[in-house]
Structure 1
Amino acid sequence: MDELMMEAEKHLERGEYEEARHIYEQIINDEPDNAKAYNKLGVIAAYEKNNEEAEAYFKKALELDPKLSSAASNLGNIFFEKEELEKARECYEKAIDLDPDNPIPYNNLAVIYKKQKEIDKFVKFYKKSVELSNKQLRNPQKDKPGKRQRATSSYTGTGILGFIAVALILYVLIRLFKG
């Protein structure tokens, strides 16, 4: 199953959503309790702007594996887009509890606090996000030997490109919510 997951991930990274979806559905047919495959189907649905479907997939992934940090963070993103900031905050906090070394939910919480004009909290979570991103750049495999970093899979390319992507996304989001 790992080979199929890697093949689907390659399609997903290239934006080949139909091919990736087909493989994730095949995985679920073979392993109905595969939370990671449901999470990835949610990612595809979110990319395609089908937030209701994405939300259902992320909830199913968390039902199957309540410790799947990426599904909690992804569900938070759906709530954020729906302007349900309290639910989004709860999801990001859960993601942090499950994987305190992942910079992404810290960054997402920072954006919520910026939007809510809670600058002290914004700064706190933004700094933590940057700190963790820098740590991953310095030691991409040290923290989890033999495993690919979760945050890295959210980025395209090398660690440097990932950090630049996070910084650029944060800049754009801050500019959007400024005011």
Structure 2
Amino acid sequence: MIDKNKHGIELMQEGKLEEAAKVFTEALEENPHDPILNVNFGNLLAAIGETEKALAFYKRAIEIDENMATAYYSAGNIYFELEELESATHYFSKAIEKGLENQDVFFMLGITYMYQELFKHALPYLQRAAELNPEDEDALFQFGICQAQLGLIDEAIKTFETLTDRDVQNADVYFNLGVAYAYKENESKALEQFNKAIEIQPDHLLAGNGKRLLEQQ
């Protein structure tokens, strides 16, 4: 007997969304109280932009199984997209509480706190995200930004330099490292980083402004 849930996921991965929808619909008709099916159908709806309908399926999965960590995480993503950050915070937090331990949920909760300027709350989650996947440059960058926002300038420099040591081609990394060095009154180092940012992105206005300010001193 074919595993319709597995088959539906395979069709989604192949980009055959209409076929996947048909398979999931049949599966849900047969077993409407399967929380995993509800989450997967919600994921399909989210993939085609039906966010409100997707949310309904995630909440239904939670009603069926209140420990369905992936349902909380998926609902958190929807609320994040809708810029309903308090609700996103709640659902991401619940996903972790219910045992979800992957990097994505820590990163998303950290970013959600960052968007609310709750930097002390964001810091441990971004740190955990960076620890779980040290190769994730975005997680490291956001961790560095959060450190800087909290006045942990030496720590932020160390985090940004983890990225510059890899020769990342992200002008914002060099710009923020330049700002950190300027804060430490190391003007030559700051100028070096602003120049690198401009080399990567010639129209980087903030780096250009930073360079001009330093050169005028």
TM-score by length of 2: 0.59
Q: Which amino acid aligns with 1:116?
A: Q
**Hey, what does 1:28 align to over in structure 2?**
28
- The structure that has the greater radius of gyration is 2
**CA displacement, residues 47-99 of structure 1 (integer Å, 9 cap, x when unaligned):** 11111111111111111111111110111111112221111101001000112
Aligned equivalent of 1:17: 17
Note closer, same or farther for the CA distance 1:171–1:61 as it changes in structure 2 (3 Å cut).
farther
Q: CA deviation at 1:131?
A: 2.4
Runs (4+) of structure 1 exceeding 4 A deviation are 167-172
Output the aligned Cα RMSD.
2.5
Query: Which residue in the other structure is 2:82 paired with?
Result: 82
Residues 170 and 22 of structure 1: CA distance in aligned 2, closer, same or farther (over 3 Å): farther
- 2:85 alignment partner AA: L
Q: In 1, Cα distance between the equivalents of 2:57 and 2:101?
A: 24
Cα distance per residue 1:81-140 (max 9 Å; x no partner): 222111110100100011242222211111112212233333321121232346xxxxxx
SS for the counterpart of 1:9 is helix
Q: How big is each residue's C-alpha offset from its partner over 1:13-46, in whole Å with a ceiling of 9 and x where there is no partner?
A: 1221111111111111111211111111111111
Q: Percent identity?
A: 26
> Where does the alignment leave 5 or more consecutive residues of structure 1 unmatched?
135-162
Verify the 8 A CA contact 1:11 1:17 in the aligned structure 2.
yes
The residue correspondences of 1:38-57 to structure 2 (distance < 5 A) are 38-57=38-57
Q: CA distance change for structure 1 residues 109 and 9 in 2, over 3 Å: closer, same or farther?
A: same
Alpha-carbon separation, structure 2, partners of 1:84 and 1:26:
32
Higher relative contact order (CA 8 A, sep 6+): 1
Do the aligned partners of 2:130 and 2:140 also contact (CA within 8 Å) in 1? no
Alignment: residue pair count: 144
